[in-house]
């Protein structure tokens, strides 16, 4: 669920920005990377096909939005806990 809540936070931030974005594929790729990154931070081993080099594939606008949309900006990420049941 943390992955999906990350997207809720990202969408709320995107809604407040006065920026038009034409390359949705790159934006979604970056948002997915951050969702899986948060899951990994919590202890998940599902990386969604991403690796440490994935950010090199982001375009310029995605990189500008990267810090604004990153999961560590949301209050819930500082209090969430993850226990892998397997």
**Paired tokens of 28:** 């979604």
Q: Kindly calculate the radius of gyration of the chain based on its CA atoms and give it in whole angstroms.
A: 13
pTM of the model: 0.78
Res 84 pLDDT > 60: no
pLDDT tens-digit series, residues 4-53? 888 888 988 888 876 666 667 888 888 999 999 988 888 888 888 888 88
- The domain segmentation of the chain, as residue ranges, is 21-78
* 3-state secondary structure at position 79: coil
Residue whose C-alpha is closest to residue 9's, from 64, 59, 76, 81: 76
pLDDT of residue 32: 92
- As a whole number of angstroms, the distance between CA 58 and CA 50 comes to 12
What sign results for the dihedral spanned by CA atoms 84, 44, 46, 76?
positive
């Amino acid at each position: 669920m943390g992955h999906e809540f990350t997207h809720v936070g990202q969408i709320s931030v995107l809604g407040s920005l006065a920026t038009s974005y034409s390359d949705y594929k790159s934006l979604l790729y970056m948002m997915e990377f951050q969702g899986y990154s948060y899951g990994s931070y919590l202890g998940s081993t599902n990386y969604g096909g991403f690796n440490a080099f994935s950010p090199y594939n982001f375009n310029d606008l995605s990189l500008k939005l990267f810090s604004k949309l990153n999961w560590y900006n949301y209050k819930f990420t500082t209090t969430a806990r993850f226990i892998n049941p397997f």
